[in-house]
Structures are given as structure tokens and as C-alpha cells.
Amino acid sequence: MAFQQGLSGLNTASKNLDVIGHNIANANTVGMKSSRAEFSELYASSVNAAGGTASGIGVTVAAVTQQFTQGNITATGNEMDVAINGNGFYELTMPNGATVYSRAGMFKLDREGNVVTNDGSRLMGYPTDAAGNRLSFETQPLSLPTGGPIPAQQTGSISAEFNLDARAPIYNATTGLPPLSTYGTSLVAYDPQGIEVPVSLAFRKVANNQWEVYTGVNGADPATSTPFTLNFNNDGTLNTTTTTIPTLTLTSPNNPALTFTASMNFDDVTQFGTSFAVNKLSQNGYPPGELTSLKIAENGVITGQYSNGQTRAAGQIALVNFRNSQGLVPTGNGSWQATYASGDPLRGEPGSGNFGALQSGALEDSNVDLTAELVDMMTAQRAYQANAQTIKTQDQVLSTLLNMR
């Protein structure tokens, strides 16, 4: 009996050392979760059916469970590295079509702009509009627009915020003073192809609380345009009742036949007794732009930043969780597969409910405690030696019995 007990002890101690060695070997593996060997004693059937005396016959490894505790988060500075701070797993689609789950956030872009892992698995997420609003609850592989520039947008509106000096002299048509160039500003608009269209604005005070606005496009002299009038109230604010702002006709520099209009918003223009100053001058057009960088928010929204100053959301990383994480089966490469024991995956947005938030430019380290593992290794080694000693002792007992005379 002691031989069987000692042999079972050697086997379980050896398996325990295998588990500990695996933990130590992966102490630097991103997203790795440590394992623990759990033992169970073995008993033979009752020797005496009437009295019921049980006899222990050794030990076995009942299960090897993984510890899904949070690992330390280390900043890397790589914009494609993403750590989960809290519960959840990334959903990945492997090259063979199988679905796996992982905590390792070392993502990359392939030549087609797909977000992938080192083994080519594609990261799953939710589609969004350009503002980052989720469009569907169904996950799909995330892909970023790296193949070409985003298209240009022609200018459709111009907004201005400036102050006209109430102390300025009224224009004298006889002397031509003050000249039209005294007060003015300029901006750049864009045609449908993203070509710059220079626009200049000049202002002339023609009466108390009344100014004329002249416009010039593509270097044309504003004085040659037909002006429109800004009427101000006595408190210096724009009189929107008596002021009519026309639409501005713009012409493409490369094609004079290509014209388009842009509305103008002068509602925030004032006439106060202070120097002329432009506080804001903007328009909604922009040229084509190439992708320059990415930013991943805590809620998983991936935003592309482009060379034309625009930003666009390209999707949202999805997280999944399970009722029983211990039911997941490890498949290698830091991934797990769902089983009947784990239950179906529960999907959600990062940072919502019991899902953890994402941290871009960082990775989750292995949760292996090297100090504890080394202590466990020494304990397992002593257990192995002790079981070997029981076999040796039983051998000596049998040898003594065989040598009796």
C-alpha cells in the first residue's frame, strides 16, 4: 500500500512542479494568468462492510485552476498597446475562424489596416460613426483607414467673432479716408477637392453704429465687391433684425467655372470702444488628410488623427466577460476558449457595468508572484523528496521481511 501512496505522491508533486515551472517561465508574459495545482486525497472502498473503515491510498491532482487576478500595468508609450484595468477579455477571431479571448493587448496593424495580434488574430469591436457613437451591438473585426487619405470637405459655412472699434472715424468719400485696408482680416476656405481658396474681409465705418463689409476671393481686391451692411445696437451688439448676412460665393482657383456658396455667421460681432480685434475666425472645410496617429480612449473608442487636423472615430473595442472564468480553456498564445462550464460570453463597452476601463500605451503584466512561486517550488521539492523517502522506507521494510530466518 505504501508503494502506491508514495508513487501517487511523486506523480502529484511532479505535476505541481510542472505548474510552478510554467508560472515562473511566463513571469514576463503579457496578460498571463498564473495557475495553481489543487490536490485531492484518495480512499479505497470500505475494508469492513459492516464497520466501514476507510483506507487512504494516496493523492491526485483534482484540477489545475488559473488565477484571474489583476496584473500590474506598465506604461510602454506604444499607441497600439492597450491594457484592461479591471474585468474583461478581448475578443479575437483567429485566422482559422475560431473565436478566442485574451488579456494580452499587444496589437498591431497589418498592411490592410486590420488590428491584429502577433499570431494574426483580429481584434473584434463595435462599428461607430465619425463622432464615436456606436452603430451596432454586433461585433466585427476592427479595421482602420490606413490605405489612403480621407476625402476633402468643401467650405459650407464661415463663422466670425471680432470687435469693430466704435471710436473709428466715419469714412469720408471725398478724401477716401480712412482707407479700406485699415480694418480687415482673412481666412482660407476649401473647394470640393480640398484646394485652398483665400478669402479676405474688409470693414469700413459709414455711419454711427453702421459698418460695411467687403469680401475678396482668390486675391481679388475687396473694394471691387458689393458690400453688405452691419447694423449695431447702442450697446454695441449686432442688430440681427436689421442686418442681413448674404451667402458668400467662392470660386475654385484651379477651375473658375467651379463655384460654390458658404453661409456666414456674424452673430457674435460687436462694436465696442476698444481696438479692432479678431477673436475667432473659422470655417468647416478641410483638405485631404493622411492618418498620422491613433488614440484609444478608456471606453475603447479608437480615434484617428489626420494631417489636416481632423479626427475621426474608427470603431470601439469590445470586451467580454464570463459567469465562470475558471471554465475557460487555455489555448496558448495568451488566449482562452469558451466552454459549456464558462457559459456564453457577455459583451459590453469598456468602463461600463463590471467591465474594466482601457489604458492606451500600456500593457498588463503577468500576475505571477515570483517570490511566492519560488517558495512553492521549494515546498513541492520537499514533498517530492518525502514521498520518495516513503517508498525507500517501504522497500527497506520488505527487504527486512524477506531476509527473516
Among 251, 266, 283, residue at a domain's last position = 283
Residue 266 sits in the same domain as residue 166? yes
Dist CA 251 CA 218 (whole Å): 8
The number of domains in the chain is 3
Among 283, 313, 345, residue at a domain's last position = 283
| pLDDT band (50, 70, 90) for residue 389 | confident
Residue 190 sits in the same domain as residue 297? no
DSSP bridge partners of 332: 335
Highest averaged pLDDT of the listed ranges 26-40, 204-218, 290-304: 204-218
Residue 209 sits in the same domain as residue 138? no
Residue 175 sits in the same domain as residue 132? no
pLDDT at 270: 95
Residue 208 sits in the same domain as residue 167? yes
Dist CA 276 CA 278 (whole Å): 7
Q: What is the pLDDT of residues 178-235, one digit of tens each?
A: 999 999 999 999 999 999 999 999 999 999 999 999 999 998 999 999 999 999 999 9
Residue 400 has pLDDT above 90, yes or no: no
Strand pairing category for 259-265 and 157-163: parallel
Residue 113 sits in the same domain as residue 167? no
Residue 185 sits in the same domain as residue 273? yes
Residue 62 sits in the same domain as residue 175? no
Domain around 88: 73-150+290-364
Residue 81 sits in the same domain as residue 65? no
Taking a C-beta distance cutoff of 8 angstroms, is the pair 118, 106 a contact?
A: yes
Residue 188 sits in the same domain as residue 266? yes
Average confidence score pLDDT of the chain: 89
pTM: 0.76
Q: What is the pLDDT of residues 329-373, one digit of tens each?
A: 999 888 999 999 999 999 999 998 889 999 999 999 999 999 999
Residue 1 has pLDDT above 60, yes or no: no
| Overall average pLDDT of the 156-160 stretch | 95
Contacts with 362 (C-beta within 8 Å, 6 or more apart), sequence order: 73, 74, 75, 76, 81, 82, 83
Residue 320 sits in the same domain as residue 263? no
Q: Which amino acid is residue 20, in one-letter code? A: I
pLDDT at 54: 62
Q: What is the CATH number of the domain that holds 250?
A: 2.60.98.20
Residue 63 sits in the same domain as residue 81? no
